[in-house]
Amino acid sequence: MRLPATFRRLILLTIACASVTFAQQGERLYKFHCAFCHGKGDDGMAANLVSPKLPHAPSDAALINIIKNGIPGSDMPASLGMTDAEIRQVATYVRALGRSAPQKVPGDATKGQAAFDKSCRSCHMAKGNGGVMGPDLSDIGLRRSPTNLKNSIVEPDANIVAGWSGVTVKTKDGKSVRGIKLNEDMLTIHVRTADGKIQSIAKSQTASIERAGAKSTMPSFKQLPAADLDNVIAYLFTLRGE
Ligand code: HEC
Ligand code: HEC
C-alpha cells in the first residue's frame, strides 16, 4: 500500500512529536516539581544533581525511592501528585543531568585549599583531616552546587544543616559548655565541644540550656574578598569523596 505523500509526512511528524514529548516530559516535570530547589541542576539551593554519582541515589531504584518519599530529616520532600510513570520520567531526566559536564567554576582550587586550611579546617574535615565542629566536607562537591556552597559560606544562618545546631549549657556549679548538640533526652544532653570531646551533662545539674536555634555556630565569611571566596568554592567543588 502506498500512502499519499502528505499523509506519510503527517505520520512521521506524529512519531517525531511523540518521542520529543516523551524526552521533554521528564524535563517539564522537573521544572515544575524540582527546579524551585534544584535550579537547573547545579545552580539551585539544594543538592547538586549535575553529578555522575549521587550519594543518596547510588542505584535507579534508590533514586526513584527518594523522589517518591523524599529524604527524611532533610528538606528534600516526598513528591505529591506524581504518578509512578512520571516519577520514572523525572528520574531519567535526573540521570541525564548527571551525564552533563560539571559546571566550570571561577577560582583557583590550589589557592582555595590554602585558604581552607587557614579559615575552615579547624572545624571541617576534608579528606580525613580537620576538625569536628562542622560537617565533614570530603564529598561536598558532589552534594552541593557552587551557588549553594557560596550561600553556606556567606550566610550560614540561612540554611542550617540538620543535626548541627549549637547549644550552650550552663551547669549549677558555674561551668559553661558550648558546642554542637548531639542528642538529648529527659535526663541528659550530649554536647560536642571544640576539642572534639563529647560531654554528657545530667539535666539535674544544668542551670540553663541556651539553644542557638536558627543561628549557625559557623561564622559568616561575608568579609572574604570575592577572589578568595571563588578560590575556596573552587576547592570545595573538587571534593568529591575520592
Ligand atoms: C523544597 C526543596 C526541594 C524540592 C522541591 C526537591 N528537592 Fe531534591 N533535595 C532537596 C535537598 C535540600 C536535598 C539534599 C538533602 C540532603 O543531602 O540532606 C535534595 C536531594 C535530592 C537528591 C539527592 C542528591 C544526592 O546528593 O544524592 C535528589 C536525587 C533529588 N533531591 C532530586 C529531586 C527531584 C527529582 C525533585 C523533584 C521531583 C526534587 N529533588 C525536589 C530539596 C528539594
Ligand atoms: C567555628 C566552626 C566553623 C568554621 C570556622 C567554618 N565552619 Fe562551615 N560549618 C560549621 C557548622 C557548625 C556547619 C553546620 C551548620 C550550618 O549549616 O551552618 C557548617 C556548614 C558548612 C557548609 C555546609 C555543609 C553542608 O553539608 O551543606 C559549608 C559548605 C561550610 N560550612 C564551609 C565552610 C568554609 C568554606 C569555611 C571557611 C571559609 C567554614 N565552613 C568555616 C562550622 C564552621
| pLDDT tens per residue, range 190-237 | 999 988 899 999 999 999 999 988 889 999 999 999 999 999 999 999
Q: How far apart are alpha carbons 169 and 177 in whole angstroms?
A: 5
Local confidence band at 147 (pLDDT 50, 70, 90 cut-offs)? confident
Please list, in sequence order, all residues whose beta carbon lies within 8 angstroms of the beta carbon of residue 20, skipping any fewer than 6 positions away: none
Q: How high is the pLDDT of residue 28?
A: 94
Q: Which helix (H) or strand (E) holds 188?
A: strand 188-192
- Cβ neighbours of 117 (radius 10 Å): 14
For ligand 2, is residue 239 a contact (CB within 6 Å)?
A: no
CATH, range 166-211: 2.30.30.100
Mean pLDDT for all residues in the chain: 89
CATH class of 5-33+52-99: mainly alpha
Q: How far apart are alpha carbons 102 and 236 in whole angstroms?
A: 14
Q: How high is the pLDDT of residue 136?
A: 95
**90 alpha carbon – ligand 2 mean position (Å):** 31
Q: How far apart are alpha carbons 203 and 189 in whole angstroms?
A: 7
Ligand nearest to the CA of 230: 2
Q: How far is CA 60 from the centre of its chain?
A: 19
Is pLDDT above 80 for 100?
Answer: yes
Q: Going by CA atoms, what residue is nearest to atom 5 of ligand 2? A: 120
Q: How far apart are alpha carbons 237 and 145 in whole angstroms?
A: 8
Ligand nearest to the CA of 153: 2
In angstroms, the Cα distances linking 232 to 47, 134, 207, 226, 239 are 18, 16, 41, 10, 11
Q: Going by CA atoms, what residue is nearest to atom 32 of ligand 1? A: 67
The percentage of residues in the chain with a pLDDT greater than 70, rounded to a whole number, is 93
Is the Cα torsion angle 82, 83, 87, 92 positive or negative in sign? negative
Is pLDDT above 80 for 133?
Answer: yes
Is pLDDT above 80 for 22?
Answer: no
Architecture of domain 109-157+219-238 in CATH?
Answer: Orthogonal Bundle (1.10)
> Would you say how long the chain is, in residues?
242
Q: Going by CA atoms, what residue is nearest to atom 42 of ligand 1? A: 76
Local confidence band at 53 (pLDDT 50, 70, 90 cut-offs)? confident
Q: How high is the pLDDT of residue 17?
A: 60
Q: Indicate which atom in ligand 1 lies nearest the CA of residue 93.
A: 35
For ligand 1, is residue 22 a contact (CB within 6 Å)?
A: no
Least confident among 24-28, 102-106, 111-115, 151-155: 102-106
pTM: 0.80
